[in-house]
């Protein structure tokens, strides 16, 4: 069971929006959660009078706001600002606090390209694929003089974005580019997996026949596909779709139509969330 937190202040009528991540928070507990989950990307811009005013006006926490104003007068280091908030809410213990401060300090020491990559990764892991794609593209444009292994890592990330959006041909192209730059076998493996998903059975067999007989990790790719198929059958999504298929073949046609429309609408909403810029 997770921790139980006492609600403090009130629920905001207007959310606070972190422009860097396009994240909205509506109460002090959501702000604390955002801090803990995103410690590695907090910088001096996080500690702002705008956030203090939101805490005072929207969350109705004037005493906390007063303390934060005092912090801002002496330091703009985000770890001091964060400690004041989290201690007031009793959100984490001292051991966790020290580790959080270490993560924040480490993040501030990252170079500009590293911070840009961390932010792009944040978008990807939070399923904001349009924002992730744009951030990775910007990284490549801004860091043309980067080392090949750094560029290859970003091309692999772009491949993952394309794959999540079912653009398997484009994903394969990104993975192939990463492999050509560094010889990274992981990139090669993902290139093969993307081709496997891009092509039908006959097309994939024709593609495989163009490869050398000793082409590396071809068998590994096929084993991973088989394993992924077995794992997918254990998921809730597979169970839902299997249930819909049975319903479609039964006499419950009206019920099937209603549920399938709801399911399609929910999937479309999820896709729109991924593509919000």
| Tens-digit pLDDT profile for residues 24-79 | 999 999 999 999 999 988 888 898 999 999 999 999 999 999 999 999 998 778 89
Total structural domains within the chain: 3
Q: Domain span at residue 256?
A: 236-275
Residues 257, 206 share a domain: no
Residues 251, 211 share a domain: no
Q: Which helix (H) or strand (E) holds 8?
A: none
Q: Answer yes or no: is 24 within a domain.
A: yes
Residues 227, 119 share a domain: yes
**SS3 of residue 187 by DSSP:** helix
Give the per-residue pLDDT at 75: 78
- Are the C-beta atoms of 99 and 35 separated by less than 8 Å? no
Please give the average per-residue pLDDT across 252-269, as a whole number.
76
Residues 159, 102 share a domain: no
Residues 271, 256 share a domain: yes
Residues 200, 147 share a domain: yes
Q: Answer yes or no: is 4 within a domain.
A: no
Instruction: Tell whether pTM > 0.75.
Output: no
CATH number, domain containing residue 195? 1.25.40.10
Last residue of a domain, one of 108, 124, 151: 108
Q: Answer yes or no: is 6 within a domain.
A: no
**How far is C-alpha 193 from the geometric centre of its chain's CA atoms?**
21
Residues 228, 139 share a domain: yes
What is the tens place of the pLDDT at every residue in 194-231? 999 999 999 999 998 988 877 778 888 889 989 999 99
Q: Answer yes or no: is 80 within a domain.
A: yes
Residues 144, 129 share a domain: yes
Please give the average per-residue pLDDT across 242-264, as a whole number.
79
Residues 119, 88 share a domain: no
Residues 258, 221 share a domain: no
Give the per-residue pLDDT at 4: 42
Last residue of a domain, one of 79, 108, 137: 108
Q: Answer yes or no: is 2 within a domain.
A: no
Q: How many CA atoms lie within 13 A of 162 on its CB side?
A: 24
Residues 148, 95 share a domain: no
User: Which two three-digit tokens encode residue 91?
Assistant: 């959100």
Can you give the chain as a three-state secondary structure string?
CCCCCCCCCCCCCCCEEECCCCEEECCHHHHHHHHHHCHHHCCCCCCCHHHHHHHHHCCCCHHHHHHHHHHHHHCCCHHHHHHHHHHHHCCCCHHHHHHHHHHHHHHHCCCHHHHHHHHHHHHHHCCCHHHHHHHHHHHHHHCCCCCHHHHHHHHHHHHHHHHHCCCHHHHHHHHHHHHHHHCCHHHHHHHHHHHHHHCCHHHHHHHHHCCCCCCCCHHHHHHHHHHHHHHHCCCHHHHHHHHHHHHHHCCCHHHHHHHHHHHHHHHHHHHHHHHCC
Residues 127, 218 share a domain: yes
What is the tens place of the pLDDT at every residue in 95-145? 999 999 999 988 888 888 988 898 899 889 888 899 899 999 999 999 999
Q: Answer yes or no: is 201 within a domain.
A: yes
Those residues whose C-beta lies under 8 Å from the C-beta of residue 211, and which sit 6 or more positions away, are 218
User: Which two three-digit tokens encode residue 169?
Assistant: 């041909």
Q: Answer yes or no: is 9 within a domain.
A: no
Last residue of a domain, one of 88, 108, 128: 108
What is the tens place of the pLDDT at every residue in 158-176? 999 999 999 999 999 999 9
Averaged pLDDT of the chain: 88
Q: Answer yes or no: is 79 within a domain.
A: yes
């Amino acid at each position: 069971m997770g921790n139980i937190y006492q609600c403090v202040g009130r629920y905001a009528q207007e959310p606070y929006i972190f422009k860097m991540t396009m994240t909205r928070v509506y109460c002090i507990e959501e702000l604390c959660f955002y801090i803990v989950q995103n410690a590695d990307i907090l910088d001096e811009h996080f500690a702002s009078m705008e956030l203090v005013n939101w805490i005072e006006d929207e969350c109705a926490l004037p005493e906390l706001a007063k303390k934060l104003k005092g912090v801002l007068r002496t330091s703009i280091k985000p770890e001091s600002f964060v400690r004041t908030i989290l201690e007031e809410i009793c959100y984490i213990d001292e051991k966790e606090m020290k580790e959080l401060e270490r993560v924040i300090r480490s993040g501030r020491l990252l170079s500009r390209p590293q911070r840009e990559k961390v932010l792009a990764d944040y978008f990807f892991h939070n399923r904001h694929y349009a924002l992730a794609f744009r951030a990775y593209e910007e990284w490549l444009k801004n860091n043309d003089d980067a080392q090949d292994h750094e560029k290859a890592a970003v091309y692999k990330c772009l491949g993952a974005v394309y794959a999540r959006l079912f653009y398997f041909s484009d994903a394969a192209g990104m993975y192939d580019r990463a492999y050509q730059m560094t010889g990274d076998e992981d990139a090669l493996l993902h290139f093969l997996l993307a081709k496997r998903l891009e092509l039908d059975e006959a097309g994939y067999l024709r593609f495989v026949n163009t490869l050398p007989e000793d082409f590396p990790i071809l068998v590994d790719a096929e084993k991973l596909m088989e394993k992924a198929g077995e794992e997918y059958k254990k998921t809730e999504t597979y169970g839902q779709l299997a249930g819909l298929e049975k319903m479609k073949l039964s006499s419950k046609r009206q019920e099937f139509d209603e549920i399938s429309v709801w399911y399609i609408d929910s999937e479309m909403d999820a896709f729109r969330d991924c593509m919000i810029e």
